[in-house]
Each structure stands twice: as C-alpha cells, then as structure tokens.
Amino acid sequence: MAIYEYRCSSCGVQNDVIQKMSDAELTTCPACGKETYSKQISAAGFQLKGNGYYVTDFKNKPASSCETSACNSCPSANG
C-alpha cells in the first residue's frame, strides 16, 4: 500500500489516499464531483534503520593514512 497525494484542479481540494500500486488512478473529486482530480508528484518520505546503512555504519570514519605523520606522500605531513 502506498500513500498518494491527489488534488482537484476545479475546487482545489487536496487529499492523501492510501491505495495499492496496482489500483487505478482516481479521477472524480470527492468534494465537487468533477473529473478534475489528479495524482500529484511528491517526495517520498522514509528512513533507513538498522545495520548496513550509512547512519549507523559510517558515522565515525577512521582516520585516513594521510592524517598521520607516517604519510610521506602528503605535503602537509612532510612540513
């Protein structure tokens, strides 16, 4: 099931509708009854949780070899 945003271009009413992805798009406005009800493009909102995602796995990056004084290829380390 997905949540879709619909808007009527005649009366301006906006609604969020829960539908299956395979369901046909709604066209009749529930407020005014006109056939000007259409699906809107909107940003998807979701959050990745658990192991294997950037937020939990790479929050504290290890120091690269250039940040140590043993690095001979970096100009800043050679002073």
pLDDT at 32: 96
pLDDT at 1: 86
Q: pTM, whole model, 2 decimals?
A: 0.55
What tens digit of pLDDT does each residue of 23-39 get? 999 999 999 999 999 99
| Ranges of residues in the chain whose predicted pLDDT is under 50 | 77-78
Handedness of CA 16, 12, 34, 38 (dihedral sign): negative
Q: How many residues does the chain have?
A: 79
Assigned fold of 1-40: Rubrerythrin, domain 2 (2.20.28)
